[in-house]
Each structure stands twice: as structure tokens, then as C-alpha cells.
Amino acid sequence: MTKCRATLFLASLALLFLPLCAQGGPWGPLLLAHGPVGPVPPPYRQGPAARPAAAPQKPGPDAAPKTHQVAIVQEIPKPEPLFTQGLFFDGGTLYESSGLYGRSRLDTFLIEEGVRLKGTGTLRFPPGFFAEGAALAGGRVLVLTWKEGTLFEVDPESLGIKGSIFYQGEGWGLTYDGERLLSTDGTDLIKVRDPVGFQEVAPPLRVKDRGRPVERLNELEWDPLGKVIYANIFQSDLVAAIDPASGSVLRYLDLSPLRRRALAQRKPGWPEPDVANGLALDGSGGLYATGKLWGSLYLIKPGTD
């Protein structure tokens, strides 16, 4: 075969196989395996340099706090519905302060056999006082009043009033973090107070959700294990879990299932249950909740949804 004829023969073979390669025929992979000349088309690029993996995204400061539904672990009937304002445990004794003029009181209970509340004592306040939040600090039971500017000091054994302290402004919620008293007045502020004289000893903590104030803070409960402040939000069934350092809301607990349960369990002649109010930790991590005029106390477990 002459040189000219050989050249024409090879050219004919190229023209024959070129359409097969272009159409992805059986020869295409074989030719590509040898590596095409020039830049590699995107579908065939390999390795991390071609398409780097995205770094995990962490929630930023503007991330919305999640709202968790709560599950009812146990329902414990109460002897009667009270207009609950404060709730806390001291050992095995549950203290509950309740409001309304002419009906304000402080009650103590024991949880008998884990299934019912047994009343063990009652202090009734003078009719001109509207009792609010309550807390135990240094062996003293302290009870706020709504507009009367009076903090009552109560003996935990006899439930007798030992004295009172006057303060400015309204009183709503109260708790003790082991060093300081924390109180609310219906605004977005949690005031930091001395447990003996009740004077403010530090700037108030401004509670916020993504920079916006969270108002109507009501009953408080300090969680020493989780290092958060729980706060009922008045006129809602939400509880805010608050960072004590920054005041930011970390998450919300939705207690509306408890309120629906309280409505369903309402006894004839009892008043209609109002909003959730009253949180108490039993010292072993158990979280209890109730509400204004509810007929039960609930042991709850926050969900993770």
C-alpha cells in the first residue's frame, strides 16, 4: 500500500468511529479513559478541589429559638383550684402562692404516693394584698405582692408572717439562684436583688428574642442543673428558657397541651382554667407545672421537637 493510500485509509477509519464517540457509543468510554486533551469537563472532575464540601452551619445569634412541646409524665390532682402565682419545692414540700384580693394565700402540700396532693398548711394574707411570686432564700420564704410594694417574710415551719420589706414598683415572679433573688414586674426585665434586704444589687437582665424584648415575664424558676432561668410569659402558655448571662431566650416550652388537659378535667362548679403559671423543680430534675385555676399539677418532660 502506498503512503498516500495508507493516509486515506486511516482518515476513513476516523470518520467511521467519530460519530460513535460523539453519540456516547461503546467506544466513547474507552477513549475517555485515556484522558481527553485539554481542560476536564465538569462532570468528570474528581477530588475535593472540584466541588469542596460545605462547612457545617451553626445557628447564628439571629437564629429563632425552637419551641418544644411538652409531654405529661404524671397528672396529680389538687384539692382545689388556686389562682397560682408562685411555685417551688423545699425538700419534699411544695409551696404555692396564689393571688386575688381577699383570697391571697400561701399553701404547702405533700405529694402522697405520687398520685395526689395533700395540703399541710395555709397562710391567708390580709385582704388588701394581692400575693404574687414566692421563693425560698436562706431558710426564709419570701412572697411578693402585686401593687402593694410589700415583700412578706414567712416562717417555713409555722407559715406565720415574720416581717415585711417595702420596694418600688410591681411584683410578679420570684426565684433564688443560690446567691441572688431574681424578680419580674411584667416587663422584659429580670431584676437582680439581695436576698436579705431585697435591694437591687446589679443592673437588671434584659430578656430578648433575637434582639427584641420579651415582655410580660411572670413566674420564675431557676434551674441549677441546666443553668437557665425559666419564665412564664403572662397571657400565654409559653415558658421561656433564658440564658442568665446574656438574657437571650434559648428555647420555649409550649404548655398548651397541659391547659387543654386542665380544661378537659375541669370539675363541675370549678372555675374555668386560665393561662399556665407556676413552675417548680423538685431537686432531682423533675419539672412540675400548673396554671391559674387549674385543678392539677403536672410532672412534665420537655420534648426535643
Per-domain residue ranges of the chain: 66-302
- The overall longest dimension of the chain from CA atoms, in Å, is 125
Which residues, in sequence order, are CB contacts of 191 under 8 Å at separation 6+? Answer: 182, 183, 184, 185, 200, 204, 205
pLDDT < 70 regions, the chain: 1-62, 303-305
Q: HSE (CB half, 13 Å, CA atoms) of 96?
A: 32
Residue identified by cell 461503546 is 26
Please report, for residues 42, 100, 122, 230, 296, the alpha-carbon distance to residue 76 in angstroms, rounded to integers and kept in the order given. Answer: 65, 24, 19, 21, 5
Residue of 206, 84, 197 whose CA lies nearest to 133: 84
Q: Amino acid identity, residue 13? A: L
Please report, for residues 15, 17, 21, 204, the alpha-carbon distance to residue 7 in angstroms, rounded to integers and kept in the order given. Answer: 13, 16, 21, 93
Sign of the torsion angle spanned by Cα atoms 280, 286, 287, 293: negative
pLDDT of residue 40: 30
Residue of 216, 218, 230, 189 whose CA lies nearest to 277: 218
CA distance 277 to 220: 9
Residue identified by cell 466541588 is 51
181 close to 173: Cβ distance less than 8 angstroms: no
pTM for the whole structure: 0.78
Strands 181-184 and 217-223 turn out to be: unpaired
What CATH number does the domain located at 66-302 have? 2.130.10.10
Which residues, in sequence order, are CB contacts of 30 under 8 Å at separation 6+? Answer: none
User: Per residue in 224-260, is it b (16+ CB within 10 Å) or e — as a string?
Assistant: eeeebbbbbbbebbbbbbbeeeebbbeebbbbebbbe
CA distance 59 to 160: 50
pLDDT of residue 62: 64
Please report, for residues 12, 150, 178, the alpha-carbon distance to residue 170 in angstroms, rounded to integers and kept in the order given. Answer: 99, 9, 23
CA angle 194, 197, 203 (to 5 degrees): 35
CA distance 93 to 90: 5
pLDDT of residue 121: 96
The grid coordinates of residue 39 equal 481542560
